[in-house]
C-alpha cells in the first residue's frame, strides 16, 4: 500500500502510560495518536509519556498531532511529557520554535523520575 | 464326539467372522470400535473349543471355554466402562479357579471336581456379568446403546445354556447338537447390534454435516443481508457470535479481538450472558447486567486466562467439563459465574491471530463434545476471513474518503494561489508550487502594498484535507485584510495570529514568513512565524545568508510576539522563500534533500533570472528525488534585485 506506516504501542509503568511511537508521523498517520490519546483520556488515564525515540520522520501534521494531544491533556489537568526528542524530530521541533512549548525530557527514566517527583 | 457335527459349527463360525469383518470395516472412525476385538476373541475361543473337542474329546475343554467366553464378554463390556477394584478381584478369582481345575485334573486330590462345580462357577460368572451389564446406563455412557440392546438376549443365552449344562452335564448329546450352537447365535446378535449401531452413527454424521452446512449457509445469508445495508464491524461480529451460539446450542458466546495498540483482548460482541472467566470483585457480581458490563469493559492481557492463552498459543481449546479444568473450575464452583463447558477457538488469518471466539454451556451436566468443537473450528475459519475482509474494506473506504476530501482541499488551494502580481520596477520575481497528491498545506502570495512596496508571503498549514484548506482560506483572508503600506511585517504576523488563534484546532497551526520589499530604498523587512528562514544571496560576496526571527507558529498562542529584521539589498542580490516540502523531499533511499542541497543549488546559478533559478532548483530537486513519492507540497519564491 502507498501509505507508509506508523505504529503506536502502549506500555505501563505504575500509573504512568508510555506511548511508544515508531515509524513516520506524517499526514497519513498522525491522526492515530490523537485517537489513541482521546480513548485513553476517556478511560481516565492521567499521566502520559510520549516516547518519540523510534520516530523516523515527522512533518508538520505530526507536530500538529503532538500539539493537539499536549493541549488536550493539559486542558484536562493531566500530565504529558515528551521523551527522546532527537534527530529529525528535534530538528523539526526546533525549526518550528516549539522546544519550549512541550515539556521535553531526556529519556524514559527521566520522564518517570519527573512524574514521580511531581506526583 | 462325532466329527460330522463339526462342519455346521465351523460354517456358522465362519459366517459370524465374515459379518464381524464387515462391521469392522464399515466405519473407520466409529465410536465403540474397540469393543470389536473381544468379540473376535470369542469367535476364536469357540473355534478352538470345537476343534479341540472334536480332535481330543477332553470334556473339561467345554467348561473352561465356557468360562473364557463369559470373561471375554466382561472384557468387552469394560471397553465401555472403567475397570473397578471389584472387577480385578473377580478376574483374580477366575485365574485361581482355573488353576484349581487344572490341578484337580492332573493331581490326585481328595475332592473330585465335576461338571456341577464347573457349572456353578460359570453361573456365578454370568451373574457377575449380569450385574455389570445392569449397571450400564445411557446417562453415564453415551455408547451404551449397543449394550442395552443386546444384554437381554446375551444374558438369556448364557444363563440358560449353562443352566442346562449344570443340570445335564457336558456329555449329553443334546448339549452338543442343540445347545452349543444357540450360544453362537447370541454372539451373532451382539455383532449384528454393532452393525446397526455403526450404521446409525453413519446416518447421524451425515445429518450432522448437512446441518453444519445448513448453518453455514444461514450465516452467510445473514451476513450478506447485513452487509448490503451498511457495513459495521460491530454488527458483523454480532451476527457471527449469534450464529456460533445457535449452531452449537450454546448458552453464551463472545468474540474478543486483539487491541490495535495494546497487547490485550477486548470484548467486541457477546451473546447471552458470558461471565468473566476470572475472579470478579463482589461489586460487579450484583446483577447479571453488572457481570456483563464487567466482562465487556475489562481487557484481558494476551496470555492470561483461558481466552488469552488461546490467543497466545493460537491453539483451539475444548473444556468439556469445566469442573475438571483448573483454568475455569472457579466458574464451575460459582453459582453466579457458573460455566459447565467451554470452547475457545482463535480467529486466525494467514498466521495472524485476530482474536478469539468462545462459546459456553451454563447448565448443570451440559457439555460440549468433539463435534461441537469441530463445528466451531470450521466456523471460526469462515468468521476470521470475514472479519479480516471487512476490516480491510473499512480501511480502504476510510482512505478513499480521505482522498476525496484531499482532492476537494487541493481544489480550494489552487484557487488561492496568486495571479499576476504587479510588475516590479526594480526587480523581478518568480514562484513555483508543486502540490503533492491530496495534500494542501502550502500557501504563497505576492501583494502590492502601494506603488513602491510589495509584500511576499509563504505559509504552510499543518494537517490535511478540508480543515487545513479552510485554515488556509482564513489565513489568506485575514492577511489581505490587515496588510497596509503603513503596517510593519511583525505587526502583520501578530494580527494574523490574533485573528486565527482560538478559532482553529491547534493541529492546524501555520508557519508563515512575511517579507516587505521597498523598491525605492531597496530595503527588506522580514518577520517569521516559525517558518523556514529567508535565504539572501549576496552578489558582491557570493554568500548565502539565512535570516530568521523569533516567534511561534500562527494559531498557538493568542498573544505571541513576533520580531522583524530590516536590511538593504543591492543589485543582483536574490531573496528566496520556500516550504518544508523542498527540504524534506526524500529520495528512494529515504534521504532528505535538505537545506544544504537547496543552498548549494541556489548558489550554483548566481546570474540566473528568478524564473530560471526556480526552474533549475526544481530540476535539481527532481533529479535527487527520482521515483520516490512526493509527500508534501513544494513551494519556492525567488526575487532578484535589479
Structure confidence by residue, pLDDT tens digits, B261-308: 888 999 999 999 999 988 888 888 888 888 888 899 889 999 999 999
Q: B192: buried, middle or exposed (CB in 10 Å: 19+, 13-18, 0-12)?
A: middle
CB atoms B532 and A60 under 8 Å: no
What residues contact residue B201 under an 8 Å CB cut-off, 6+ apart?
B27, B30, B31
Option in B506, B532, B629 nearest A95 (CB) = B532
CB atoms B262 and A9 under 8 Å: yes
Q: Residue B576 in contact with residue B533, Cβ under 8 Å?
A: no
Task: Dump pLDDT digits (tens) for B577-606.
Answer: 999 888 888 888 888 899 999 999 999 998
Q: Of A67-71, B384-388, B405-409, B590-594, where does mean pLDDT reach its minimum?
A: B405-409
Residue B529 and residue B515: Cα distance in Å, rounded? 11
Which strands form B341-349's sheet, in the order they lie side by side? B300-301, B264-272, B252-258, B352-361, B341-349, B317-319
CB atoms A65 and B441 under 8 Å: no
Nearest chain B alpha carbon to A60: B462
Q: What is the pLDDT of residue A2?
A: 37
| Residue B187 vs residue B569, higher pLDDT | B569
**Is the pTM here over 0.90, yes or no?**
no
* pLDDT mean over B40-46: 89
**pLDDT bracket for residue B545 (50, 70, 90):** very high
ipTM of the complex: 0.78
Q: What is the pLDDT of residue A3?
A: 44
Nearest chain B alpha carbon to A72: B506
**Local structure of B234: helix, strand or coil:** helix
| B495-534 residues touching A, CB cutoff 8 A | 505-509, 511, 530, 532
Which strands form B564-568's sheet, in the order they lie side by side? B442-448, B453-461, B510-518, B523-529, B564-568
Task: Dump pLDDT digits (tens) for B75-122.
Answer: 888 888 888 888 899 889 989 888 888 887 777 766 777 777 887 888
Say whether pLDDT at B57 is over 90: no
CA distances from B357 to A87, B394, B519 (A): 44, 21, 75
Residue A22 and residue B564: Cα distance in Å, rounded? 37
CB atoms B505 and A68 under 8 Å: yes
| Residue A77 vs residue B210, higher pLDDT | A77
Mean pLDDT of chain B: 85
Say whether pLDDT at B124 is over 90: no
Nearest chain B alpha carbon to A6: B261
CB of A10 within 8 Å of a chain B CB? The answer is: yes
Pairing mode, strands A47-58 and A16-25: parallel
Residue B463 and residue A61: Cα distance in Å, rounded? 4
Distance separating the N- and C-terminal Cα atoms of chain B: 140
CB of A97 within 8 Å of a chain B CB? The answer is: yes
Residue A31 C-alpha, separation from nearest chain B C-alpha, in angstroms = 9
> Where would I find the H helices in B298-369?
305-313, 329-332
Q: Residue B40 in contact with residue B20, Cβ under 8 Å?
A: yes
Q: What is the pLDDT of residue B598?
A: 93
Q: Residue B263 in contact with residue B301, Cβ under 8 Å?
A: yes
Say whether pLDDT at B366 is over 70: yes
Say whether pLDDT at B463 is over 70: yes
Task: Dump pLDDT digits (tens) for B177-234.
Answer: 666 667 787 788 888 888 888 888 888 878 877 777 777 777 777 777 766 666 788 8
| Cell numbers that stand for B44 in this block | 476364536
Max mean pLDDT range (B22-31, B109-118, B497-506): B497-506
| A54-93 residues touching B, CB cutoff 8 A | 56-57, 59-61, 63-65, 67-68, 71, 88
| Cell numbers that stand for B201 in this block | 452413527
DSSP B175: I
Q: What is the pLDDT of residue B141?
A: 65
CB atoms B508 and A64 under 8 Å: yes
Amino acid at each position: 500500500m502507498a501509505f507508509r506506516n506508523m505504529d503506536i504501542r502502549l506500555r505501563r509503568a505504575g500509573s504512568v502510560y508510555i506511548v511508544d511511537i515508531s515509524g513516520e508521523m506524517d499526514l497519513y498517520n498522525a491522526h492515530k495518536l490523537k485517537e489513541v490519546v482521546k480513548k485513553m483520556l476517556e478511560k481516565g488515564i492521567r499521566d502520559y509519556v510520549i516516547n518519540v525515540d523510534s520516530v523516523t520522520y515527522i512533518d508538520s501534521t505530526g507536530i500538529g498531532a503532538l500539539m493537539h494531544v499536549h493541549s488536550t491533556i493539559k486542558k484536562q489537568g493531566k500530565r504529558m511529557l515528551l521523551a527522546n526528542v532527537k534527530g529529525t524530530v528535534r530538528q523539526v521541533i526546533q525549526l518550528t520554535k516549539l522546544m519550549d512549548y512541550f515539556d521535553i525530557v531526556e529519556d524514559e527514566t527521566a520522564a518517570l523520575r519527573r512524574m514521580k517527583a511531581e506526583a | 464326539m462325532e466329527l460330522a457335527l463339526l462342519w455346521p459349527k465351523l460354517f456358522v463360525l465362519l459366517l459370524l467372522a465374515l459379518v464381524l469383518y464387515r462391521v469392522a470395516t464399515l466405519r473407520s472412525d466409529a465410536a465403540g470400535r474397540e469393543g470389536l476385538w473381544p468379540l473376535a476373541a470369542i469367535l476364536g475361543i469357540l473355534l478352538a473349543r470345537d476343534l479341540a473337542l472334536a480332535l481330543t474329546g477332553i470334556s473339561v475343554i467345554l467348561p473352561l471355554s465356557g468360562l473364557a467366553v463369559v470373561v471375554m464378554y466382561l472384557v468387552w463390556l469394560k471397553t465401555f466402562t472403567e475397570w473397578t477394584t471389584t472387577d480385578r478381584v473377580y478376574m483374580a478369582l477366575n485365574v485361581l479357579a482355573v488353576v484349581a481345575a487344572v490341578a484337580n485334573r492332573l493331581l490326585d486330590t481328595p475332592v473330585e471336581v465335576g461338571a456341577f462345580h464347573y457349572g456353578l462357577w460359570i453361573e456365578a460368572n454370568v451373574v457377575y456379568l449380569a450385574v455389570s451389564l445392569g449397571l450400564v446406563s445411557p446417562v453415564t455412557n453415551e455408547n451404551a446403546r449397543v449394550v442395552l440392546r443386546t444384554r437381554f438376549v446375551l444374558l438369556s443365552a448364557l444363563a440358560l445354556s449353562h443352566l442346562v449344562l449344570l443340570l445335564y452335564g457336558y456329555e449329553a448329546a443334546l448339549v452338543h447338537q442343540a445347545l452349543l450352537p444357540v450360544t453362537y447365535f447370541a454372539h451373532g446378535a451382539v455383532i449384528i447390534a454393532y452393525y446397526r449401531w455403526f450404521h446409525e452413527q453413519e446416518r447421524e454424521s451425515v445429518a450432522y454435516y448437512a446441518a453444519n452446512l445448513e448453518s453455514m449457509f444461514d450465516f452467510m445469508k445473514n451476513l450478506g443481508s447485513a452487509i448490503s445495508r451498511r457495513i459495521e464491524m460491530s454488527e458483523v461480529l454480532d451476527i457471527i457470535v449469534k450464529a456460533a451460539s445457535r449452531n452449537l446450542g450454546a448458552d453464551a458466546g463472545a468474540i474478543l479481538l486483539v487491541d490495535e495498540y495494546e497487547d490485550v483482548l477486548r470484548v467486541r460482541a457477546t451473546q447471552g450472558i458470558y461471565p468473566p472467566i476470572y475472579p470478579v470483585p463482589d461489586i460487579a457480581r450484583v446483577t447479571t447486567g453488572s457481570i456483563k458490563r464487567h466482562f465487556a469493559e475489562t481487557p484481558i492481557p494476551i496470555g492470561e486466562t483461558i481466552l488469552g492463552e488461546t490467543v497466545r498459543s493460537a491453539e483451539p481449546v475444548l473444556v468439556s467439563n469445566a469442573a475438571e479444568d483448573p483454568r475455569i473450575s472457579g466458574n464451575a464452583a460459582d453459582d453466579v459465574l457458573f460455566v459447565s463447558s467451554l470452547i475457545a477457538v482463535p480467529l486466525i488469518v494467514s498466521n495472524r491471530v485476530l482474536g478469539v471466539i468462545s462459546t459456553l454451556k451454563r447448565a448443570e451436566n451440559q457439555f460440549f463434545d468433539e463435534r461441537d468443537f469441530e463445528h466451531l473450528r470450521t466456523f471460526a475459519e469462515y468468521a476470521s476471513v470475514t472479519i479480516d475482509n471487512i476490516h480491510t474494506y473499512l480501511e480502504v473506504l476510510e482512505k478513499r474518503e480521505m482522498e476525496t476530501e484531499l482532492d476537494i482541499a487541493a481544489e480550494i488551494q489552487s484557487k488561492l494561489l496568486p495571479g499576476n502580481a504587479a510588475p516590479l520596477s526594480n526587480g523581478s520575481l518568480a514562484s513555483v508550487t508543486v502540490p503533492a497528491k491530496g495534500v494542501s498545506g502550502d500557501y504563497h502570495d505576492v501583494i502590492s502594498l502601494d506603488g513602491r512596496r510589495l509584500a511576499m508571503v509563504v505559509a504552510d498549514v499543518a494537517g490535511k484535507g478540508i480543515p487545513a484548506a479552510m485554515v488556509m482560506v482564513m489565513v489568506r483572508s485575514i492577511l489581505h485584510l490587515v496588510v497596509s503600506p503603513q503596517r510593519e511585517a511583525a505587526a502583520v504576523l501578530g494580527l494574523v495570529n490574533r485573528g486565527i488563534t482560538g478559532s482553529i484546532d491547534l493541529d492546524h497551526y501555520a508557519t508563515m514568513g512575511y517579507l516587505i520589499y521597498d523598491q525605492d530604498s531597496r530595503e527588506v523587512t522580514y518577520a517569521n512565524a516559525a517558518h523556514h528562514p529567508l535565504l539572501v544571496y549576496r552578489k558582491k560576496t557570493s554568500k548565502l545568508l539565512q535570516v530568521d526571527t523569533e516567534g511561534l507558529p500562527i494559531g498557538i498562542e493568542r498573544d505571541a510576539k513576533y520580531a522583524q529584521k530590516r536590511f538593504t539589498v543591492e543589485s543582483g542580490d536574490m531573496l528566496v522563500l520556500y516550504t518544508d516540502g523542498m527540504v524534506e523531499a526524500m529520495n528512494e533511499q529515504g534521504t532528505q534533500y535538505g537545506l544544504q542541497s537547496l543552498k548549494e543549488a541556489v548558489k550554483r546559478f548566481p546570474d540566473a533570472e528568478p524564473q530560471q533559478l526556480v526552474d533549475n532548483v526544481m530540476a535539481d530537486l527532481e533529479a535527487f528525488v527520482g521515483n520516490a513519492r512526493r509527500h508534501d507540497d513544494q513551494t519556492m519564491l525567488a526575487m532578484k534585485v535589479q
